[in-house]
């Protein structure tokens, strides 16, 4: 395996880890408005993600940093081409983060309400915009021979990208509901599992529409005729198993299934892209690939040594923090 191939896989793993961990995080954020009925219940929900949400976002920062160092041409083309989308995404993340930090210092109901809305809207916009970006990537965008992207509004906002964005929102919502079922007790816990069945139905319909649009809007079924149907089937299977386990009140298994749905969905996008990293709709010869977008051998070699040294500590810390804060959150907490 070449170093560019290794770093493409590592970046895919980082994005999969981000969507798995931040997925339930976003879901809980949206549910502070959809599920909780008063201040105590909203506090209970936020307490479930309190020790983790900022560490979960580190996966995205690490993925962005790795992308910048390992594939500078990919980073330059994507971040300049999707500039507006990234600015809105960052503003949503910042508003959400500031609200989570400052909400406990607020004394008046007026500002308390404002922070709750910031958390809910930021938690909705972030996965929605990332979903639009990734579906747009596999659909293809106008890139010329100089690796310059000339995307127009319809390249970012179309039926497929909107459905892709909503699919990621629904996956996050389901993941958040199963997480709440796993981490809470009391009325919020019961209401989450009750709402989960309804959201699962919407998610199932959304995934069918997303799969159909993927077939007609991308070449994933052509370049990966075996992997794409298998991974889509795995998403459907884990969704059905998630419904079954949720109805049987097997919260741990239901959470695992919702997480696997996210893992298989993101993996399908990256496997469909490989060895391309951005698809040109002007000419396939202008595609950005892991070879023409990658850094030099020396840079990738140094990055690999640093990653191998530091990664066990980062993973160890995160696993330890989840173990320490593993107990369920009661309404009085």
- Average pLDDT of the residues of the chain: 89
Terminal CA-CA length for the chain: 50
Buried/exposed 11-39: b ≥16 CB within 10 Å, e otherwise:
bbbbbbbbbbbbbbbbbbbbbbeebbeee
Rg (CA), the chain: 20
**Which parts of 158-243 are beta strand (E)?**
none
For residue 129, the model assigns a pLDDT of: 93
Is the pLDDT at 332 greater than 80? The verdict is no
121 pLDDT above the threshold of 90: yes
Once rounded to an integer, what is the mean pLDDT over residues 291-297? 88
Q: pLDDT tens digit string along 11-48?
A: 999 999 999 998 899 999 999 888 888 888 888 888 89
The rounded percent of the chain whose pLDDT value lies above 70 is 99
For the segment 171-183, what is each residue's pLDDT rounded down to a tens digit? 999 999 999 988 8
Mean pLDDT (whole number) for 86-109: 88
Closest CA to 255 of 166, 180, 329: 180
Residue, of 246 and 260, whose pLDDT is higher: 260
| pLDDT grade for 117, boundaries at 50, 70 and 90 | very high
Q: 62 pLDDT exceeds 80?
A: yes
- The string of pLDDT tens digits covering residues 176-227 is 999 998 888 888 888 998 898 888 889 888 888 988 898 888 888 988 899 9
Say yes or no to pLDDT of 333 above 90: no
DSSP 38-76: SHHHHHHHHHHHTTTHHHHHHHHHHHHHHHHHH-HHHHH
In this predicted structure, the answer to whether residue 320 has a pLDDT above a threshold of 80 is: yes
Average pLDDT over residues 229-258: 90
Question: What global pTM score does this model have?
Answer: 0.91
**Band (124; pLDDT cuts 50, 70, 90):** very high
pLDDT reported for residue 12: 92
Taking phi over 0 as left and psi of -120 to 50 as alpha, with beta for the rest, 249 belongs to left
Asked if residue 277 has pLDDT above 80, the reply is yes
pLDDT at 108: 82
Q: Which residues contact 189 (CB under 8 A, 6 or more apart)?
A: 180, 181
Asked if the model's pLDDT at residue 154 lies above 80, the reply is no
């Amino acid at each position: 395996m070449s170093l560019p191939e290794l770093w493409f896989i590592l970046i895919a793993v980082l994005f999969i880890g981000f969507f798995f961990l931040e997925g339930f995080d976003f879901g809980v954020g949206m549910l502070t408005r959809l599920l909780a009925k008063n201040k105590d219940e909203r506090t209970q929900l936020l307490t479930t993600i309190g020790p983790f949400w900022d560490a979960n976002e580190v996966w995205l920062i690490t993925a962005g940093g790795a992308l910048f160092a390992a594939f500078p041409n990919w980073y330059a083309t994507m971040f300049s081409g999707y500039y507006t989308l990234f600015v809105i995404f960052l503003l949503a993340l910042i508003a959400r983060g500031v609200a989570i930090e400052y909400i406990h210092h607020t004394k008046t109901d007026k500002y308390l309400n404002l922070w709750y809305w910031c958390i809910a809207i930021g938690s909705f916009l972030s996965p929605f915009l990332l979903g639009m970006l990734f579906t747009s990537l596999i659909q293809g965008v106008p890139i010329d021979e100089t690796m310059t992207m000339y995307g127009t509004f319809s390249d970012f906002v179309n039926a497929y990208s909107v459905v892709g964005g909503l699919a990621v929102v629904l996956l996050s919502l389901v993941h958040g509901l199963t997480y709440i079922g796993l981490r809470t007790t009391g009325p919020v816990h019961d209401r989450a599992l009750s709402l989960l069945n309804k959201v699962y139905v919407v998610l199932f319909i959304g995934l069918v529409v997303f799969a159909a649009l993927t077939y007609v809007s991308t070449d994933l079924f052509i370049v990966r005729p075996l992997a794409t149907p298998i991974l889509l089937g795995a998403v459907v299977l884990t969704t059905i198993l998630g419904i079954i386990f949720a109805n049987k009140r097997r919260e741990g298994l239901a959470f695992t299934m919702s997480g696997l749905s996210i893992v298989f969905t993101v993996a399908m996008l990256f496997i469909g892209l490989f060895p391309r990293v951005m698809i040109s709709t002007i000419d396939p010869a202008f595609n950005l690939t892991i070879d023409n977008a990658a850094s030099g051998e020396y840079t990738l070699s140094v990055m690999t040594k640093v990653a191998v040294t530091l990664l066990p500590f980062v993973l160890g810390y995160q696993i330890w923090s989840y173990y320490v804060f593993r107990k369920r959150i009661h309404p009085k907490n």
